[in-house]
Structure 1
Amino acid sequence: MVEQYDNVQKIEGRHIGTSTSISIIVKDGIISEINQLNTKRESLPWIAPGLVDLQINGFQGMDFNTLPITEELISEAVRGLWKEGVTSFYPTVITNGVEEIEKVMSVFSNACNKDTFVHESIAGIHLEGPFISPEDGPRGAHGKEYVIAPDWSLFQRWQKAAEGRIKILTLSPEWSNSTDFIRKCSDEGVTVSIGHTAATSEQIIEAVKAGARMSTHLGNGAHTMLPRHPNYLWEQLAQEQLWTGFIADGFHLPDSVIKVILRTKRDKAILVSDAVYLSGLEPGLYETHIGGKVVLAEEGKLHLAENPNLLAGSAQLLTWGIEQLIQKGLCSLSEAWEMASIRPASCMNIPLHKIEVGNRPDFVVFEWDGQHIKIKDTFKNGVQVY
């Protein structure tokens, strides 16, 4: 509930962390007061930190991986994601040709330089590949013809085009030069995430020692058959230093796997959407540049048209994943929201914008009916953007 008086806004709602009914006064873009309401009002909406998505490939028909990409498209995507409660995100650029990746990085950099809101909302770029496993299964939908071994000079070329905005790099440590490459990335402040990998346990251990800090959508981008032990899934779960990103759209992972991730990783479990550009569109048959004909089903599943058992990516955003976790009894509303906001921000060392006096509001106001989330208002860096 937001009331506006000239340059002052009053927001009433229930704090996501404490369930306390509060009133927030925002003056000139700064939280000037937070007062506890005397009566508990169940009808009030929730107030929570803005969502942070570490892995998103596109939204509402806007693809971050198909050239030509325009600065206007990026600006539109940023503003569309505000409506979904996402205040910070890492647009994800997947395996492609050298020039294509460089071009995409340049467009994102230009978009950030020209639009303050784009700059503030894009916390960094996630480069997913091309230094991944060439094997079928772990490679996923990434084009095999573009998969290569880690190349520092090439990465530096892309980083230059991005003006230093590549903050997450997904790679497989199975390459012989991976350890040295990971160490260089870590020294440059780039978070290396293990994913799309066929690495041995020993290679994963060495990668973590070299500075790898995260796992990319653990449990997906993997062989259909694995040794019972050891294998690269067990090893990543066992590495306490690794944050773990996972997809909870109800299709990518069974509940049992999510339970194991939550119990083993605890406060290092992070919800990601990994949404493709079909997210936010109506159910139907679509033609894509990677998977060919795909179907976005009524229940939210995105699969190949010729085989409903084969996923064609995720078509759901973070709020959907939060809903799934709660509906299945895997965690509470506050825990699920934390996995999609505070934890990814902590992992990437970006400002948390806590709901405290003196801070600029970076939060959302939403309704929760026990099944679905409805975003009502979004604040970004002191400004109500939705």
Structure 2
Amino acid sequence: MDYSIEGRHYKTLVPVRVGITGGLISKIEEINGCDNQTLIAPGLVDLQVNGFQGIDFNEAHTTQEEVRQVTQSLWDVGVTTYFPTVITNSDERISASLHTISAACSNDQLVNQTVKGIHLEGPFISKDPGPLGAHPEAYVQGPNWDLFCKWQDKAEGRIKLLTMSPEWPGSVDFIRKCVESGVKVALGHTAASPLQIKEAVEAGASLSTHLGNAAHVMLPRHTNYIWEQLANDRLWCSCIADGFHLPEAVLKIVFRVKSGKCILVSDSTKFAGLDEGSYQSPIGGEVMLDSQGRLSLKAYPELLAGSAKPLLDCIAYLVRTKLLSLADALEMASIKPCQYLNPSAIPGLSPGSDADLMLLNQKNESLTVLKVIKSGQLVHSV
């Protein structure tokens, strides 16, 4: 089906008509006499989604239908591509989660088009308090290629991103094997030395997962894994800009140092969209969600337990604090992750790119999603 939409280009604010043919953007042309103030922007791409609105990918009995429900809920807040994230757990639990997500993709075309890959965050991470974060220490282990291959089989090849710590023996060889198999390797939840960080990057690690979080409370002021990752020009980095995970000053520094190689992620959990209160979570056990949307471990309130904010809220926060323009924040949550995953792909709002779009209303400091288009199909409208 061929059709077109009209509005203002998110970057130039010029009125445009966007033609859509066969799930792709066929043309973009400027138009005159358009009073429509709606912004047309690329759909959001979130590489770290643990769950959303009461559903968690890490729970034992999550169903294919619930994967479909999360996908629909994410469309409603502008996310047209995401990576379900499976964290440190038992072999059986990880296998079950991967199988359920993969089966949901196999049985629903639009879910399959939206879930571009699975993010396996752990269990090959640090056991140190701080870097461990909310992951269950009992299941943390060193990198195991045979086990990873077993999980990749369960996922039917859908694991596209792995977060690990290179502090373990055998990490360099493991990273090389992952990269050779087409899996992107990210460094995170790590207590690695600067030398181990360098060796990991040489082996093919290409991303820092939520840099600045899941870290020791106290670090050596000069020689540490955060500075080392910031300084390495070959590493992209992801950040959680929900107003809780990183102070404004830290975000400002990361955006400047990693200019062009920074990605926004939500790290959202099942508590995104729920009321404040105490909850039981597969990520960290008992957690507290306060009235401002901050999610923390109940026993250790200084430690965060993931995020309860969707990606659109992170964009609004960056615009509200004037850390980024709306256009730059949108690109950091759409075009940049696509470029990281596939540098040769046609990104964003361009002829030939996928028709993954959202129509936004910006009023003062708030953003409202009016319509969302996935692969040329309207999947959300208000």
TM-score norm. by structure 1 comes to: 0.94
Q: Which residue among 178, 193, 200 is the counterpart of 2:186?
A: 193
What does 1:329-348 align with in structure 2 at a 5 Å threshold? 329-348=322-341
Query: Structure 1 CA distance, aligned partners of 2:353 and 2:94?
Result: 37
How is 1:227-376 mapped onto 2 (pairs within 5 angstroms)? 227-305=220-298, 308-349=301-342, 351-352=345-346, 354-357=348-351, 359-376=353-370
| TM-superposition CA deviations, 1:309-358 (whole Å, max 9, x none) | 44232100110110111111111000000000000011011845543445
Structure 1 counterpart of 2:127: 134
Instruction: Identify the range of structure 1 (121-130 vs 277-286) with the bigger mean alpha-carbon deviation.
Output: 277-286
Q: Is the 8 A contact 1:243 1:265 kept in 2?
A: yes
- Which is further off, 304-313 or 190-199? 304-313
| Cα displacement string for residues 56-90 of structure 1 (whole angstroms, at most 9, x for unaligned residues) | 10000010001112111111111111111100001
Q: How does 1:18-33 map to 2 (within 5 A)?
A: 18-27=12-21, 29-33=23-27
Q: In 2, are the aligned partners of 1:353 and 1:361 still within 8 Å (CA)?
A: no
> Over residues 148-188 of structure 1, what are the superposed CA-to-partner deviations in whole Å (9 max), with x where a residue is unaligned?
11000110000011111100000000011000000111111
Contact map agreement 1:248 1:325 (CA 8 A) in 2: yes
Task: For residues 250-282 of structure 1, give each alpha carbon's deviation from its aligned partner in whole angstroms, at most 9, with x where no partner exists.
Answer: 001001110110010000011000011111222
- Higher mean displacement: 45-54 or 295-304: 295-304
Give the 3 Å change call, closer, same or farther, for CA 304–210 of structure 1 in structure 2. closer
SS at match of 1:218: coil
Count of matched residue positions in the alignment of Structure 1 and Structure 2: 379
Q: Which amino acid aligns with 2:16?
A: I
Counterpart position of 2:372 = 378
Q: Which moved more, 1:20-29 or 1:165-174?
A: 20-29
Deviation at 1:9, TM superposition (A): 3.5
Q: Any idea what SS the aligned residue of 1:273 has? A: coil
Give the aligned CA root-mean-square deviation in angstroms. Answer: 1.7
| Conservation of the 8 A alpha-carbon contact between 2:133 and 2:303 | no
Q: Is the 8 A contact 2:346 2:352 kept in 1?
A: no
Uncovered stretches (5+) of structure 2, i.e. residues with no partner: none
Structure 1 residue runs without a partner (length 5+): 1-6
Deviation at 1:32, TM superposition (A): 4.5
Post-superposition offset of 1:297: 1.9
| Alpha-carbon distance between aligned partners in 2 of 1:217 and 1:358, rounded to the nearest angstrom | 31
**Counterparts in 2 of 1:268 and 1:97: CA distance versus 1, 3 Å:** same
Counterparts in 2 of 1:153 and 1:247: CA distance versus 1, 3 Å: same
Instruction: Go from structure 1 to structure 2 and tell me whether the alpha carbon gap of 1:140 and 1:360 turns closer, same or farther (over 3 Å shift).
Output: closer
Closer, same or farther: CA 174–357 of 1 in aligned 2, 3 Å: closer
Using the TM superposition, give the Cα deviation of residue 290 of structure 1 relative to its aligned residue in structure 2, in angstroms.
Answer: 4.0
Match of 1:11 in 2: 5
Task: Write the distance in 1 (CA, Å) between the matches of 2:143 and 2:298.
Answer: 34
1:210 maps to what in 2?
Answer: 203
Work out the CA distance in 2 between the residues paired with 1:58 and 1:379: 22
Residue 141 (structure 2) pairs with residue 159 (structure 1): no
SS of residue matched to 1:385: strand
Cα separation, 1, equivalents of 2:209 and 2:353: 31
Partner of 1:85: 78
How far the C-alpha of 1:127 sits from its partner, in A, is 0.3
- TM-score normalised by L of structure 2: 0.95
What is aligned with 2:117?
Answer: 124
Mapped partners of 1:30, 1:246: distance in 2 = 29
User: Residues 220, 9 of structure 1: CA spacing in aligned structure 2 closer, same or farther, 3 A cutoff?
Assistant: same
* 1:195-232 deviation per Cα after TM superposition (whole angstroms, max 9, x unaligned): 00000000000000000000000000000000001100
Distance (whole Å) between structure 1 residues aligned to residue 27 and residue 306 of structure 2: 43
Q: 1:31–1:130: structure 2 CA closer, same or farther, 3 Å change rule?
A: closer
Q: What is residue 223 of structure 1 aligned with on the other side?
A: 216
The one-letter code sitting in structure 1 at the alignment partner of 2:374 is K
**Aligned CA distance change for structure 1 residues 29 and 134 (closer, same or farther; 3 Å):** closer
Mapped to 1, the partners of 2:360 and 2:6 lie a distance apart of 11
User: After superposition, what is the alpha-carbon deviation per residue over 1:288-318, rounded to whole angstroms, capped at 9, x for unaligned?
Assistant: 3443443322222123445654423210011
Q: Which moved more, 1:246-255 or 1:12-21?
A: 12-21
Separation of aligned partners in 2, 1:12 and 1:285 = 44
SS at match of 1:365: strand
Q: CA 1:357–1:243 in 2, change beyond 3 Å: closer, same or farther? A: closer
What corresponds to 2:69 in structure 1? 76
Aligned pair in 2 of structure 1 residues 211, 30: CA closer, same or farther (>3 Å)? closer
Aligned partner letter, 1:277: K
